[in-house]
Structure 1
Amino acid sequence: MKVILQKAEVDKMKIFVAKKEHERWLWHAIDHQTGTILAYVLGQRTDQMFLKLKTMLKPFGISEFYTDNWGSYKRHLSDEQRTVSKYKMQKIERKHLTLRTRIKRLQRKTICFSKISPMHDLVIGLYINKYEFHRNII
């Protein structure tokens, strides 16, 4: 069954593994109306990660994306599909703050951090699956 959504907000959030030199990025998209996370990808700040996220969003049939001015969006979304607006991205920016508050590993300065990327990705994935997708993992 194909779900049709009108608009989605897409953004990336910088996170660290072990120390500042080991950057990771959480790319995710939310429904513009409800603020629900539609899909997410963890990885580098590259076009390939955005394309992976875009592929995950295809079943939703999104007609308009609200983004910032990052180059990946310019290269892989047409001007008709993409609207650059920080004002229209308030829900996803709020989602970033909520994630940073609830998952201490996403804090910039904390004693709770992951030493390796797989564990970092696992913790973030478990949280999103349980609290955003309402899936019982265990």
Structure 2
Amino acid sequence: MVFQKNTVLSRMVKISNQIKAQYFNKLGCKFEIDELWTYIKQKDNFTWITYVIERETKQVIDFFVGSKSKENIRPLIRKVLLLQPDKIYTDRLNIYPSLIPKSIHKRFQYCTNKIERMNLTLRTHIKRLSRKTICFSKVKSIWKRI
């Protein structure tokens, strides 16, 4: 059986266009936020996938593909704050303290274990996320579909 070079990728894009996003509306949960780096076309062209998970269910609440800036992370934080979180756990990225109220923000060394474990799982199963690989993305829009 012979497949065209882009068969799998075009199928993934087609299927992803039919998937409807699930909305998370449970209030008072605990969330973890982290970033995962990858590159597009060449290793010099870094991009970041910043995402939020609910700590208990590990459900992805929202994500953003792009640079790691306050303007890009702010919409993710706002969405989480609308859910009236009990706690928000992050790494020590200096952007978070200015976006998350101190009363619910936790920044300890091991407080993001669940999302870090998810990052490792994603890197294992999605070769485009692997740090040393011959698989890479040519366009940013693919990350919104995978």
Please give the TM-score of this superposition, normalised by the length of structure 2: 0.76
Deviations 1:92-118 (A, max 9, x none): 000101111111111111111112222
Deviation at 1:15, TM superposition (A): 1.0
For residues 55-86 of structure 1, the C-alpha deviation after alignment (integer angstroms, 9 at most, x for no partner) is 33244222311111111101111211210023
Unaligned residue ranges in structure 1 (runs of 5+): 128-138
The answer to whether structure 1 residue 80 and structure 2 residue 103 are counterparts is yes
Which stretches of structure 1, 4 residues or more, deviate above 3 A after TM superposition? none
Matched, 1:13 2:1: no
Instruction: Select which of 47, 51, 67 maps to 2:70.
Output: 47
Give the unaligned 5+ runs of structure 2.
1-23
| Aligned residue runs from structure 1 range 77-116, under 5 A | 77-116=100-139
Letter in 1 for 2:135: C
- Pick the structure with more helix per residue: 1
| Structure with more strand by fraction | 1
Counterpart pick for 2:57 among 25, 34, 49 = 34
Provide the TM-score with structure 1 as the length reference.
0.80
Task: Give RMSD over aligned pairs.
Answer: 1.7
User: Among the aligned pairs, what percent are the same residue?
Assistant: 28
